[in-house]
Amino acid sequence: MEAEQRTSSQPRRQPHQAIAMRWLPRPALQCLAALALLGMLLPLQRAWFPGQSGIAWVLDLFAHWQPFYALAWLLSCALLAVGQRYWLWALPLTFLPWLSASRETTGASPSSELVIVVANVNIHQRDPARLLQWLHDHPANIVVLTELSSAYAEQLAAAGNGGFRHVVLHAQDSPPGLGILSDRSLQTPRLHADALGALRLETRIDLQGRSIHLIAVHPKPPMAIRKFRARDQLLRDLAQTSTGPTIIAGDLNATPWSSALFIAEQQGLRRATGAAPTYPSEGAGLLGIAIDHVLVSAPLAGTFRQRGPDIGSDHLPVRVGLSWSASPLPPAP
């Protein structure tokens, strides 16, 4: 009788609670939550391990995957809250990645005065038809091409370069190939390479009588510590040496949570692009990361951002609108 009373006094689990605990035991969920929280804190590694040390490189590699850490945290907390309601108080931490990302541009006028597209066209891709069709439906003033091969450049030329009047192409049969298509003059274009062979293409354009420094760039993927250091140093140098309004566009091999974009932000460059994944393109980028960007300095600011469709590459293109900031402009030099 006493045993029956003790049994009846214990709270009974609801069927859905029992199923959840059977397939995902509470210790496993707690472990998942701990790992997800640690992942969401990784962007803070720039404060824990300042500089370009080996540990900073490793942590930066894992910091890219913030949306997945947020999803794991959300799911684990929701399941743990089935039996312990206090886990509901932890759910707002799901928004940590959106607070720790490098900052975006603000203060733009409502209308766009310049539209820029960044498209990694893949070194193995030869046919620009899908890209040109998208550009026909969604016009741009400037198109920055990365991983531009000789075959792709030849097909672009055969298609009249999409109707763009000003074209600078430095095609290579290797990933560093770069190109710029523009509907306005590209003044004194110059090609530079870093110690690892990564290219950048610098030029100037005019926007409403003001000169803008435009830099197309494609640093090496940071899959080794020397490439990590080279990528971060490149963005630091470009930000420090650029004069006047500046646009840096390309496959930066850096997400909004990477040290590279935080370095750029410290030097006055902000993202006009969002955090929607651009690589890899499979599944509309559902399982990817955002590494194709447009960065701008004041007084430029973003007006809109858009991720493009599958153009036959392993990257999805991005399209952004830019305008002068709504705040008063400094006098022209």
Residue 42: the pLDDT is 93
Domains and CATH numbers, the chain: 2-100 (no CATH), 114-324 (3.60.10.10)
Q: How far apart are CA 236 and CA 32, in angstroms?
A: 36
If residue 227 lies in a helix (H) or strand (E), which one and from where to where?
Answer: helix 225-241
Distance of alpha carbon 185 from alpha carbon 206, whole angstroms:
8
CB 183 within 8 A of CB 164: yes
d(CA 262, CA 60): 11
Residue 3 tokens read as: 């045993």
Cβ-contact 81, 87 below 8 angstroms: yes
- Give the relative orientation of helices 225-241 and 259-266 as an angle to the nearest 10 degrees: 20
Q: Is 194 helix (H, G, I), strand (E, B) or coil?
A: coil
Give residue 49's pLDDT. Answer: 66
Find out whether 178 and 189 touch, Cβ atoms under 8 Å.
no
Q: Give the C-alpha separation, 213 to 191, whole Å.
A: 14
Structure tokens of 225? Answer: 């510590």
Residues shown for the chain: 333
Report the pLDDT value the prediction gives residue 21, as an integer from 0 to 100.
Answer: 54
Number of H helices, E strands in the chain: 11, 12
What is the rounded CA–CA span in Å between residue 261 and residue 295?
9
In angstroms, what CA-CA distances link 192 with 146, 219, 269? Answer: 14, 12, 21
Give the three-state DSSP class for 25: coil
The per-residue pLDDT for 330 is 43
CA–CA separation, 148 and 272 (whole Å): 23
Task: Count Cβ atoms within 10 A of the Cβ of residue 273 and give its class: 0-12 exposed, 13-18 middle, 19 or more buried.
Answer: buried
pTM: 0.89
The two three-digit tokens of residue 232, written as one number: 């971060």
List the beta strands (DSSP E) in the chain. 114-120, 142-146, 166-170, 178-182, 187-193, 199-207, 210-217, 246-251, 269-271, 292-297, 300-307, 318-324
Q: Which residues contact 45 (CB under 8 A, 6 or more apart)?
A: 56, 59, 60, 63, 259
Count of alpha carbons within 13 angstroms of residue 89, beta-carbon side:
3
Name, in order, each residue with C-beta under 8 angstroms of 153's C-beta and a sequence gap of 6 or more: 169, 171, 177, 179
Mention every residue, 6+ apart, whose C-beta is less than 8 A from residue 118.
143, 144, 146, 249, 250, 251, 273, 292, 293, 294, 317, 318
Amino acid at 176: P
Q: Which helix (H) or strand (E) holds 88?
A: none
pLDDT in tens, the chain (333 residues): 444 444 444 445 555 555 555 566 889 999 999 999 999 999 987 766 667 778 889 999 999 999 999 999 999 999 999 878 999 999 999 999 999 999 998 776 678 899 999 999 999 999 999 999 999 999 999 999 999 999 999 999 999 999 999 999 999 988 899 999 999 999 999 999 998 999 999 999 999 899 999 999 999 999 999 999 999 999 999 988 887 899 999 999 999 999 999 999 988 999 999 999 999 999 888 899 999 999 999 899 999 999 999 999 999 999 999 999 865 444 433
**Cβ partners under 8 Å of residue 86, min gap 6:** none
H/E element, 185:
none
